Amino acid sequence: MSDDVLQLYLKDWGFMNSQLSTLREDQLKQLINMEISGKRRETWIERLHQRYSKLVTARQRAELLAGGTL
């Protein structure tokens, strides 16, 4: 997904929240970095990071249960 498309997520709180579940880890990481280098809205960064952390935790747990290590 291009930066221009991702910028759309940072324009409207309601839209962003409604679409968070469709984004991958890398896209969320990119959005977090875009927000930090732009407007730096704490609540937006916190919400994006909450979703990012949830995905990272789920992936790591699945890897551990499959016999992997951290």
Q: How far apart are CA 9 and CA 28, in angstroms?
A: 10
* Residue 11 located in a structural domain: yes
* Residue 70 located in a structural domain: no
* Residue 56 located in a structural domain: yes
pTM over 0.85: yes
How many separate domains does the chain show?
1
Helices then strands, counting H and E runs in the chain, come out as: 4, 0
* Residue 34 located in a structural domain: yes
Residue 28 structural domain: 3-65
Whether 70 shows a pLDDT value over 80: the answer reads: no
Whether 1 shows a pLDDT value over 90: the answer reads: no
The per-residue pLDDT for range 5-60, each reduced to its tens digit, is 999 999 999 999 999 999 999 999 999 999 999 999 999 999 999 999 999 999 99
